[in-house]
């Protein structure tokens, strides 16, 4: 009985602490759907830019990845994905808050 109670507590704690992360990912997915990003990127397939699942696989779990990707989106980049050029997306095209949520979503993709 004591072991079952410990398991219930552990599972409950895991759910409580993972719920905010799920909410962030869901918010990121919604922000992506409303953003200019989808003009070039898609989940699971290449568009004019690399597919977002591939980006998530490459950078997911990498220390400092979100900060590096934030810089790439804001300043633009060339050659990271071969032929693709990422033009700079200033604050007028995507807010810092939306960009952060979108990157959380992308980094969750596997």
Look up the pTM and report it.
0.77
How many residues can be counted in the chain? Answer: 110
Instruction: Give the domains, in start order, of the chain with CATH numbers.
Output: 2-108 (1.10.760.10)
Measuring CA to CA, how many Å separate 39 from each of 13, 21, 47, 51? Answer: 39, 26, 8, 12
70-105 per-position pLDDT tens digit = 999 999 999 988 888 899 998 788 999 999 999 999
31-57 per-position pLDDT tens digit = 999 999 999 999 999 888 999 999 999
What mean pLDDT do residues 2-20 have? 48
């Amino acid at each position: 009985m004591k072991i079952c109670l410990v398991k219930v507590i552990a599972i409950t704690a895991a759910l409580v602490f993972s719920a905010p992360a799920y909410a962030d990912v869901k918010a990121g997915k919604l922000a992506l759907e409303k953003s200019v990003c989808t003009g070039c990127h898609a989940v699971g397939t290449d568009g004019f830019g690399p597919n977002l699942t591939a980006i998530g696989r490459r950078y997911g779990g990498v220390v400092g990845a979100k900060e590096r990707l934030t810089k790439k989106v804001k300043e633009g980049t060339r050659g990271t994905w071969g032929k693709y050029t990422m033009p700079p997306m200033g604050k007028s095209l995507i807010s810092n808050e939306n960009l952060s949520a979108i990157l959380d979503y992308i980094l969750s993709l596997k």
